[in-house]
Structure 1
Amino acid sequence: KVSPTIRNVEEVISIPERLGGKVVVAFDEFQEITNVKEIDLLSVFRKKAQMFKNTTFIFAGSRRHVMNDIFSNAEKPFYRFSKIYNLEPLGKSETIGFLRHKFNSTMEEVPIDDGLFERIYELSNGHPYYVQYISHMIWNIAMESGKLSIEDVEMAVNKILQSEKTMFEMLWDSLSSNQKATLKNIAYDISPYELNMSAGSVKTALDKLVKMDVIQKGEKRYELVDPFLGMWMKRNS
């Protein structure tokens, strides 16, 4: 194992600035930087990058709680280093239009059931990962069968749930009884404060589930981050 040094990190960070033109550097799953323990990467990064004139950084991450802590915690080096944009679910009409165009342009001779793309959106809840996942699977189904039906979407969903089963089981087994009860109510769109638990216990469970990026606070209620987790819970409860 090779541990990073401050000099190594500074040299790598400085590469785009030395290229001589305007450069955009994008980091995906940026929250993983917090797993490096040998040196304080965030401090080294900011100290060097804040002096750059020609480099723009984009930091993307899937764990909203950790990303918010990196950029919104006044005690962290990256506090207010970047503007924050929370990506909302994909728009329904735009997603359906995009899918219809892509499928029609790649399989002109394949009959497609009415409502198929609406069903993909409904089941994925506009989650980009699952829109792509379901679409990829039913595209493969269509290549084999020469047609596409609503039943194919359900088949794809069942396969996805089967492939994600181990991950969901590991998450479920890691939760306390209070967290499980709270999460189950959220999955069924029932207020967790209706549980036979004290308000303090519910609040503790909610805070922990948010910190784990299992749920997030919506406009009116808490919501599951992963729509397929809720589907799996309902099928196994």
Structure 2
Amino acid sequence: MRKSPFMYGKTVSLDSFTNREVESDKLKNNLVQGINTTIISPRRWGKSSLVEKVISEINIEKNDIKTVVIDLFSVSSEEEFLETFTKEVIKASSSQWQDWMKSGKIFFKQLIPKISVGIDPSNDFSVSFDWNELVKHKQEILNLPEVIARNKNIRFVICLDEFQNLTDFPDFENLEKKMRAIWQRQKSVTYCLYGSKRHMMTDIFNNSSKPFYRFGDIMLLQKISEEKWISFIQKSFEKSGKNISKNWASKIPQLMKNHSWYVQQMAHYTWQKTKSTVDEEQISSALEELINANTPLYQNEIENISATQLNLLKAVCKGEHQLTSSKVMQKYKLGTPRNVSKNKLILIHKDIIQEIESGYEFLDPSFELWFNKTYFKIEYLDELS
């Protein structure tokens, strides 16, 4: 059975990665040249896949650069973060587990790490510390990659995904100050920090009152253009022995508003339903399946917002621009101007809507299609006409 050339739900393979040449070149040049970089964009736009591609290229091309990629999504405490940071830096510094064991004795002055290695060192290697000592000497861990890099005459590129999750830690403000103070002085370590909650990342890195303000270059990731999606979709179908015309290939990014996750998902469903050549039946069926697959998520989203927030979404869905005008507030029962302003911020912080030049729009194109059908009886397939 042939494998689908389209991927979603995880970072895409190099074969499925598409059309981020400018961003890839910029990010790789930044990291290789020692420029700290923050990537900001809405969730599911391909940040992690972009970083994974660039890191893969650096690993192949630069023997003197050791790379670390840590996903902070499941890290629930400062202690876990510092221990994970230590473990991954030590592992990246050498391919020999014997060297990992020596690192605990060589590179720490105040802290005494407890290091253990199992039968399979690559998957069963752990580092822990006494918490009271860790609190007093956390700077040793934050500066560990610089110490190792200088000792071994190497450089580090450290990528931290879901960086905004650190803000949940009780003492984050203190940790934030220490990270910035230590990391900005490092000469042999470059950081790539990114996350899926755009408003939080923007507040951390683009707020002049915060420690990480102007920490490095900020990349505002944009959508892949419709033209590039069409080319990618057609070529991917062709390589797998199937055909899709330019007209039908264009419907996929148009319906999904060039949203990376959903373009890949709908292209995948369309590919699965196609034996030879795509026609309207496959496109229609794929769209229906995509929205049905995500409906439980959308229902849960609605259950967790207030009535006035729901009404505000209806106004946004209908393309209303002046949300605080008397006419719009009365028509959609939005409450007072203060209610509108408060609810806008809540929906923006939830990454449900975003502000654009002409007003506001849904961040999730599939959610918007579902919302239109649920509340305005507009069929999904009407969008194809």
Q: TM-score range by the shorter chain?
A: 0.7 to 0.9
1:10, CA displacement in angstroms? 4.8
Report SS of the residue matched to 1:157. helix
Structure with more of its chain in helix, by fraction = 1
**1:176 matched to which residue of 2?**
306
Which stretch shows the higher mean deviation, 49-58 or 146-155?
146-155
* Aligned position for 1:125: 257
The residue number in structure 2 matching 1:134 is 266
Instruction: List runs of 5+ in structure 2 lacking aligned partners.
Output: 1-75, 80-133, 376-385
d(CA) in 2 for partners of 1:16, 1:215:
41
CA change 1:201–1:157 in 2 (3 A) is same
More strand per residue:
2
Which has the higher Rg, Structure 1 or Structure 2? Answer: 2
The answer to whether structure 1 residue 185 and structure 2 residue 318 are counterparts is no
Instruction: Find the aligned partners of 2:239 and 2:176 in 1 and give their Cα distance.
Output: 45
Are the aligned partners of 1:17 and 1:52 in contact in 2 as well (CA < 8 Å)?
A: no
Tell me if the contact between 1:9 and 1:44 (Cα under 8 Å) persists in the aligned partners. Answer: yes
Change (3 A) 1:150 1:210: same
- CA distance in 2: counterparts of 1:10 and 1:141, whole angstroms: 55
Structural mapping, 1:56-71, within 5 Å:
56-71=190-205
TM-score norm. by structure 2 comes to 0.55
SS for the counterpart of 1:45 is helix
Unaligned runs of 5+ in 1: none
Code of the aligned partner of 2:207:
N
Report the aligned-residue RMSD: 2.5
Tell me the equivalent position of 1:24.
157
Q: Counterparts of 1:101 and 1:114 in 2: how far apart (Å)? A: 11
1:148 alignment counterpart: 278
For residues 50-96 of structure 1, what are the alpha-carbon distances to aligned partners after superposition, in whole Å with 9 as ceiling and x for unaligned?
A: 12113222222222111111112333322221332222221111221
For 1:190 and 1:80, how far apart are their aligned partners in 2?
A: 36
Amino acid at match of 2:243: P
Alignment pair present for 1:49 and 2:183: yes
SS at match of 2:252: helix
Q: Which stretch of structure 1 is more off in the superposition, 36-45 or 63-72?
A: 36-45
RCO greater where, 1 or 2, for CA within 8 Å and sep 6 or more? 2
How far has the Cα of 1:97 moved from its partner?
1.5
Question: What TM-score does the superposition give when structure 1 sets the normalisation length?
Answer: 0.85
Corresponding residue of 1:89: 223
Q: 2:140 & 2:293 partners in 1: Cα distance?
A: 40
Q: Hey, what's the Cα distance between the residues in 1 that align with 2:348 and 2:168?
A: 19
Deviations 1:167-191 (A, max 9, x none): 2112111111111111111122123
Which one is further off, 155-164 or 64-73? 155-164
| CA-CA distance at 1:153 after TM superposition | 2.6
Secondary structure, aligned partner of 1:42: helix
Distance of 1:182 and 1:112 partners within structure 2? 39
CA distance in 1, matches of 2:290, 2:312: 25
> What does residue 368 of structure 2 align with?
230
1:202 maps to amino acid: V
- With over 3 angstroms needed to count, the CA separation of the structure-2 counterparts of 1:16 and 1:156, relative to structure 1, is farther
Distance 1:111-1:94 versus aligned 2 partners, 3 A rule: closer
Pairwise mapping of residues 152-163 of structure 1 onto structure 2 (< 5 A)?
Answer: 152-163=282-293
Distance 1:3 1:90, change over 3 A: closer
Call closer, same or farther: CA 1:198–1:41 in 2, change over 3 Å: same
Kindly indicate whether residue 174 of structure 2 is the aligned counterpart of residue 36 of structure 1: no
1:130–1:14 distance in 2 versus 1, CA, 3 Å: farther
5 Å matches for 1:10-21? Answer: 10-11=140-141, 14-15=144-145, 18-19=148-149, 20-21=153-154
Determine the C-alpha separation between the residues in 2 that align with 1:141 and 1:184. Answer: 33
Which residue of structure 2 aligns with residue 218 of structure 1?
356
**What is the DSSP-based 3-state SS (H/G/I as helix, E as strand, rest coil) of the residue aligned with 2:217?**
coil
CA positional deviation for 1:17: 6.6
More displaced stretch, 215-224 vs 80-89: 80-89
Deviation for aligned residue 1:30: 2.2
How far the C-alpha of 1:25 sits from its partner, in A, is: 2.7
Cα separation, 1, equivalents of 2:374 and 2:140: 50
